């Protein structure tokens, strides 16, 4: 038997989770966490170069999810590096205890396992289970500080997330019911590659209802307005590495599930077009989040709302469809994951330096902590979509493809983007510049993950390698 | 014979909807738990009947799990927890019982209209089951949003989960999901009981979710 990278992507985190659950001593656990995440990333990367296994009833690797897997494992790895520094400080201040940390590391790997499983599975039932598992693990991690606010956030996330996954399961059952008369009873009716081949013969009305449930269900996890209520709280009250993983990865995983079902609907000529539904939810998310950005007083909440805005842009782009908009959506998703996690790395260090998350208690960061301050400035410039950074390019593509096809839709889109940019710079101004106030301790974090991400975003904005472009174009065609 | 099979399945699924309504008007936590046990018991019967009707022996396992865990163990554990933690015994509602019942009827009508229309081609057994299952899911959701206590929200969620199991067993020959979803519903229940209630109790004097509202939204 040859080296099977897909199995490795699943087995490494699973084994690491078990090892970390029994190992005492947080230093060793943190290193093992980093090592496991690195190995997983390498295994995922090898999928690019050494070919991929044939799709079976349970596992599938194609051009679409290969991008997601590599991105997920990469950010998973850099976040584990950041986390190793972050938790040391949390231990010193007594917010976390060694026993809790053991739990935290084990949960981190379980989360990686769940996300990878959701991405590589070919079975819509297993996909649902994996997303449910990722919800449960993140609920527990959000509540890990056990403060009043953290418990409230975890409870809210748990209730909304569970209702979301319950709807998604109902949608999955309906898809099975639609498939059963055509594909036949049993396992094959839940295998995505089988479904998509036969989708044209499915009962269209049943598929429509199924998609509405799936959109509501997985849309809750994507954080689309009006199903977003859990997202800012969960981001603000959990440990910052988890905020980075939530924003950068978990939202993508739910989006990926949605995309799979969108492709299923697109394959049936009589089913409703999923595009308009996704476009309207995307637009509402962009505009709502853009206005909400203005009143934020908590730095992590600020960037949580920014995540809602960007998920809105991505869902909007995929809703528009077509090669160019899909390409832009994919690129934007990649850039957003990298940038947002970089920002959360910076925010985590800032919150530790200042001892608070309140924006009012921070100021003049570029003077007191130049590296951190300018890192944050670069990150916000990237997320706001300034050239020459990567998000500028992807947003430009989204906007221009919309102008070319639906000029009226482009107006609210551009309006939302501009409003958000204004809010972000308003807040950035008071955090990074001006009279320094608040605590001025030196940051002890590692800036490597943050600058690695920002470097990638800058490179992508200046020059996208040819093979990558070809790959994304290919995926964009696949998405229809 | 076929019509008898169908009638019994129909009656059991219908009873599940009825018990969902009973959950809506309970105003004592103990009574709520007892009704929930009844809910899970009827689910077990219904799943067992589906196992018999579809000749799918693996569904008996699902039925047994529903009976042992959901109908017996979870209500007992929750009952003890209420005693030990000294939780308020009353169910506090956001919306009055009357309007809630009316809303519930509207939701049942809605799910009938939606599901019966779109599944016109499907097997009648699966069709009726699905319509009832959606009603149970929506009623569970209604219960979650109209209750303030954490315990009654959890009961609402578990009844919602029961509706999903009903839907999954109604779909003929559906693989995997029955077993896995049952395992997950149990996991969820345990997580809720073990972690949330315990921690909430550890920090506050109430399991009333309204106590959270003091910190809702933006803290400046």
Tell me the shortest Cα–Cα distance from A380 to chain B, in angstroms.
Answer: 22
Lowest mean pLDDT across A229-233, A259-263, A384-388, B127-131: B127-131
* pLDDT single digits (tens) B117-147: 887 776 777 777 888 999 999 999 999 888 8
Most B CBs within 10 Å, among A118, A163, A207, A230, to test the B interface: A163
- pLDDT above 70 covers what percent of chain A? 99
pLDDT at B7: 86
Please state the domain extents for chain B: 2-203
Task: Verify whether the Cβ–Cβ distance B180 to A123 is below 8 Å.
Answer: no
pLDDT at A410: 92
* pLDDT single digits (tens) A272-319: 888 899 999 999 999 999 999 988 889 999 999 999 999 999 999 999
Task: Verify whether the Cβ–Cβ distance B167 to A173 is below 8 Å.
Answer: yes
pLDDT at A22: 87
pLDDT at B203: 40
Task: Verify whether the Cβ–Cβ distance B219 to A143 is below 8 Å.
Answer: no
- The DSSP code for A226 is T
Q: How far apart are CA A300 and CA A306, in angstroms?
A: 10
A162, A177, A185 ranked by CB distance to B157: nearest: A162
* pLDDT single digits (tens) B48-83: 988 888 888 888 888 888 888 888 888 887 887 777
Return residues 145-164 of B near A (CB < 8 Å).
150, 153, 157, 160-161, 164
Looking at the complex, does the CB of residue A229 fall below 8 Å from at least one CB of chain B? no
Return residues 86-125 of B near A (CB < 8 Å).
114-115, 117-119, 121-122
B191, B199, B218 ranked by CB distance to A297: nearest: B218
B208 pLDDT higher than 60: no
B217 pLDDT higher than 70: no
Chain A residue with minimal CA distance to B141?
Answer: A163
Burial A346-355, CB ≥16 within 10 A → b, else e: bbbbbbbbbe
Mean pLDDT for all residues in chain A: 89
**Six token digits for residue A441:** 């301790």
Which three-class secondary structure string do you get for chain B? CHHHHHHHHHHHHHHHHHHHHHHHCCCEHHHHHHHHHHHHHHHHHHHHHHHHHHCCCHHHHHHHHHHHHHHHHHHHHHHHHHHHHCCCCECCECCCHHHHHHHHHHHHHHHHHHHHHHCCCCCHHHHHHHHHHHHHHHHHHHHHHHECEHHHHHHHHHHHHHHHHHHHHHCCCCCCHHHHHHHHHHHHHHHHHHHHHHHHHHHCCCCEHHHHHHHCCCCC
* Neighbouring-strand partners of residue A363: A437
Q: How far apart are CA A129 and CA A381, in angstroms?
A: 38
pLDDT at B53: 85
Cα distances (Å, whole numbers) of residue B93 to B66, B97, B216? 28, 8, 19
Most A CBs within 10 Å, among B124, B184, B209, B216, to test the A interface: B184
Instruction: Please choose, from the candidates A199, A190, A185, A195, the residue with its C-alpha nearest in 3D space to the C-alpha of residue A172.
Output: A190
ipTM for the complex shown: 0.86
pLDDT greater at residue A42 or residue B193: A42
pLDDT tier at A28 (50, 70, 90 boundaries)? Answer: confident
pLDDT at B220: 40
Which ranges of A93-203 would DSSP assign to H, the alpha helix?
A: 98-120, 124-142, 148-183, 192-198
Instruction: Please choose, from the candidates A69, A219, A233, the residue with its C-alpha nearest in 3D space to the C-alpha of residue A138.
Output: A233
- pLDDT above 90 covers what percent of chain A? 47
* pLDDT single digits (tens) A88-147: 888 888 888 888 888 899 999 999 999 999 999 998 888 988 998 898 889 888 888 878
* pLDDT single digits (tens) A372-417: 889 999 999 999 988 888 899 999 999 999 999 989 999 999 999 9
* pLDDT single digits (tens) A454-466: 999 999 988 888 8
Task: Verify whether the Cβ–Cβ distance A143 to B175 is below 8 Å.
Answer: no
pLDDT at A99: 82
B207 pLDDT higher than 60: no
Mean pLDDT for all residues in chain B: 78
pLDDT at B188: 61
A146, A169, A298 ranked by CB distance to B164: nearest: A169
Return residues 329-358 of A near B (CB < 8 Å).
358
Q: Is A178 left (phi over 0), alpha (psi -120 to 50) or beta?
A: alpha
pLDDT tier at B216 (50, 70, 90 boundaries)? Answer: very low
Q: How far apart are CA B205 and CA B200, in angstroms?
A: 8
Instruction: Output the DSSP codes for A196-218.
Output: HHHGGGS-HHHHHHHHHHHHHHH
* pLDDT single digits (tens) A340-370: 999 999 999 888 888 888 888 888 888 888 8
pLDDT at B2: 65
Chain B contacts of A159, Cβ < 8 Å? 144, 153, 157
Chain A contacts of B175, Cβ < 8 Å? 125, 186-187, 189-190
* Neighbouring-strand partners of residue A298: A358
**Residues B142-155: what's their mean pLDDT?**
83
Structure-token match 């919602």, residue found? B160
pLDDT at A8: 87
Tell me the shortest Cα–Cα distance from A211 to chain B, in angstroms.
Answer: 13
pLDDT tier at A423 (50, 70, 90 boundaries)? Answer: very high
pLDDT at B202: 40
The packing angle between helices A251-266 and A274-292, to 10°, is 150
* pLDDT single digits (tens) B83-126: 777 766 777 778 888 899 999 999 999 998 888 888 777 677 77
Looking at the complex, does the CB of residue B141 fall below 8 Å from at least one CB of chain A? yes
Chain A contacts of B208, Cβ < 8 Å? none
* Neighbouring-strand partners of residue B208: B149
Let me know how many helices (H) and strands (E) chain A has, helices first: 20, 0
Residue A99's CB: how many other CB atoms inside 10 A?
10
pLDDT greater at residue B193 or residue B220: B193
Cα distances (Å, whole numbers) of residue A181 to A188, A268, B51, B53, B125? 12, 15, 20, 18, 14
User: Are the beta carbons of A454 and A379 closer than 8 angstroms?
Assistant: yes
Three-state DSSP state, A147 = coil
Chain B contacts of A162, Cβ < 8 Å? 157, 188
Task: Verify whether the Cβ–Cβ distance A209 to B144 is below 8 Å.
Answer: no
């Amino acid at each position: 038997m040859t080296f099977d990278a897909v199995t490795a992507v699943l087995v490494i985190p699973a084994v690491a989770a078990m090892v970390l659950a029994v190992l005492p001593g947080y230093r060793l656990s943190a290193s093992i966490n980093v090592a496991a995440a690195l190995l997983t990333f390498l295994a995922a990367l090898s999928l690019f170069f050494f070919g991929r296994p044939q799709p079976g009833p349970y596992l599938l690797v194609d051009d679409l999810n290969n991008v997601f897997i590599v991105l997920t494992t990469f950010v998973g790895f850099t976040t584990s590096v950041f986390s190793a520094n972050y938790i040391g400080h949390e231990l010193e201040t007594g917010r976390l205890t060694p026993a809790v940390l053991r739990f935290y590391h084990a949960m981190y790997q379980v989360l990686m396992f769940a996300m990878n499983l959701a991405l590589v599975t070919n079975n819509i039932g297993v996909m649902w289970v994996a997303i449910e598992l990722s919800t449960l693990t993140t609920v527990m991690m959000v509540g890990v500080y056990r403060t009043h606010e953290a418990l409230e956030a975890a409870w809210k996330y748990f209730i909304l997330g569970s209702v979301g996954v319950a709807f998604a399961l109902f949608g999955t059952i309906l898809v099975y019911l639609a498939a059963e008369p055509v594909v036949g009873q049993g396992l094959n009716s839940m295998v995505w590659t089988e479904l998509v081949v036969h989708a044209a013969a499915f009962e269209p009305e049943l598929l429509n209802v199924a998609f509405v449930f799936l959109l509501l269900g997985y849309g809750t996890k994507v954080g689309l307005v009006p199903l977003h209520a859990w997202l800012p709280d969960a981001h603000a009250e959990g440990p910052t590495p988890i905020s980075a993983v939530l924003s950068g990865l978990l939202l993508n995983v739910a989006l990926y599930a949605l995309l799979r079902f969108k492709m299923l609907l697109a394959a049936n000529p009589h089913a409703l077009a999923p595009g308009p539904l996704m476009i309207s939810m995307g637009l509402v998310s962009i505009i709502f989040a853009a206005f909400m950005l203005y009143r934020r007083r908590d730095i992590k909440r600020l960037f949580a709302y920014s995540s809602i805005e960007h998920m809105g842009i991505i869902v909007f782009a995929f809703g528009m469809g077509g090669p160019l908009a899909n390409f832009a959506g994919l690129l934007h998703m990649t850039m957003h994951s990298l940038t947002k996690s970089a920002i959360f790395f910076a925010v985590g260090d800032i919150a530790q330096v200042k001892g608070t998350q309140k924006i009012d208690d921070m100021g003049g960061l570029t003077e007191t902590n130049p590296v951190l301050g300018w890192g944050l400035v670069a990150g916000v410039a990237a997320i706001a979509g300034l050239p020459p950074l990567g998000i500028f390019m992807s947003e430009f593509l989204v906007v221009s493809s919309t102008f070319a096809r639906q000029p009226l839709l482009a107006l609210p889109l551009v309006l939302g983007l501009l409003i958000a940019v204004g809010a972000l710079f308003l807040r950035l101004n008071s955090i990074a510049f001006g009279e320094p106030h608040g605590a001025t301790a030196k940051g002890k974090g590692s800036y490597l993950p943050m600058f690695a991400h920002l470097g990638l975003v800058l490179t992508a904005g200046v020059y996208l390698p040819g093979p990558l472009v070809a790959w994304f174009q290919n995926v964009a065609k696949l998405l229809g | 014979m076929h019509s008898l099979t169908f009638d019994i399945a129909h009656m059991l699924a219908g009873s599940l909807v009825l018990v969902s309504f009973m959950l809506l008007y309970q105003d004592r936590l103990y009574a709520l738990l007892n009704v929930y046990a009844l809910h899970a018991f009827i689910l077990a019967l219904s799943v067992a009947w589906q196992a018999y009707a579809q000749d799918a022996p693996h569904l008996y396992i699902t039925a047994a799990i529903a009976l042992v865990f959901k109908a017996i163990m979870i209500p007992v554990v929750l009952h003890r927890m209420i005693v030990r933690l000294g939780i308020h015994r009353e169910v506090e509602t956001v919306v009055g019982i009357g309007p809630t019942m009316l809303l519930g009827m509207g939701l049942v009508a809605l799910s009938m209209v939606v599901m019966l229309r779109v599944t016109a081609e499907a097997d009648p057994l699966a069709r009726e089951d699905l319509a009832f299952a959606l009603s149970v899911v929506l009623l569970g959701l209604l219960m979650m949003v109209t209750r303030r206590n954490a315990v009654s929200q959890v009961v609402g969620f578990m009844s919602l989960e029961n509706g999903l199991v009903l839907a999954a067993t109604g779909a003929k020959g559906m693989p995997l999901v029955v077993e896995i979803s049952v395992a997950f519903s149990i996991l969820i229940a345990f997580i809720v009981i073990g972690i949330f209630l315990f921690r909430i109790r550890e920090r506050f004097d109430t399991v009333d979710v309204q106590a959270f509202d003091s910190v809702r939204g933006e803290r400046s």
